[in-house]
Amino acid sequence: MQLGDLLKYNSTLKTLDLSNNTMSDSGLEEICDALSSQKTGLRTLILSNNHITHLGMSHLQNVLPRLKTLETLNLGKNNLENRGIHTLKESLMINRSLLQLGLASTGITCEGAVTLAEILAESPQIQRLDVRQNQVLAGGLMALSLALKINCSLIRLDLDQHLKEEKFTQKLKYIISSSS
C-alpha cells in the first residue's frame, strides 16, 4: 500500500523491480491502482516470482491499456496459467507502448501459446516475448510460427532450447521399445 501511494505521484521513476517478493494478487491490485493514476513515468515493471496467479491478471488487465509509457513487463515465475494470459489478451492488444513481455515459467501450455499468437498477430509493437520454461508443445509452437508470418515487430522470441516431448510421442516410444 505504501509503495502504491508513492507510485501514484511518480513521474521520474523509470524502472520498478519488485521481483522475488511475496506480493501476491492483493499486492498487485495496490500497484495497479497506483499505476492507473500515472500519466508519464514507469517504463519497466518487473514482477517475477511474486506468487501472483491468474486472478491478479484482472487488476493488470484494467490498468494496462492506460499505461502509455510502459515498455517492459516481466511476469515470469508466477502461476498465471492459460487463464491469466487469456485475461490479459484484450488489454495487451490495446496497449501500444509495450515492447517486451516476459512470461517465462508461468504455467502456459499450448492453449496459452495460441492466445499469445493471437496477440502477436494483432500487435504492431511487441519486439520480444519470453515463453521459456512453460509447457508449450508443437501445437503452441505452430500457432506462434503462424503469428510470426503476420507480425512485423517481433525481433526476439525466447523458447526452450529443447522441445518438450508430447505424451503421445512418449507413449509411442514406449510401445515401440516394449514390442522389440
Residue 173: what pLDDT?
Answer: 47
Strands (E), 15-127: 15-17, 44-46, 72-74, 100-102
The answer to pTM > 0.75 is yes
Instruction: Quick: pLDDT tens for 7-52.
Output: 887 778 899 999 999 999 999 999 999 998 877 789 999 999 999 9
Instruction: Indicate the pairing of strand 156-158 with strand 100-102.
Output: unpaired
No. of helices (H) and no. of strands (E), the chain:
7, 6
Distance CA 30, CA 3 (A): 8
Domains of the chain: 2-179 (3.80.10.10)
**Average pLDDT of adjacent 10-residue blocks, the chain of 180 residues:** 79 92 95 86 95 98 94 98 98 96 98 98 96 96 96 96 64 47
What was the pLDDT predicted at 7? Answer: 83
C-alpha cell, 15: 524502472
Cα–Cα distance, 69 to 125 (Å, whole number): 13
Strand 15-17: give its sheet, edge to edge.
15-17, 44-46, 72-74, 100-102, 128-130, 156-158
Residue 110 Cα to chain centre, angstroms: 14
Looking at residue 172, what is its pLDDT?
A: 42
The answer to whether the CB of 103 falls within 8 A of the CB of 134 is yes
- pLDDT at position 175 is 44
Taking the C-alpha atoms of residue 46 and residue 76, their distance in angstroms, rounded to an integer, is: 9
Contact 79, 105 (CB under 8 A): no
Contact 36, 10 (CB under 8 A): no
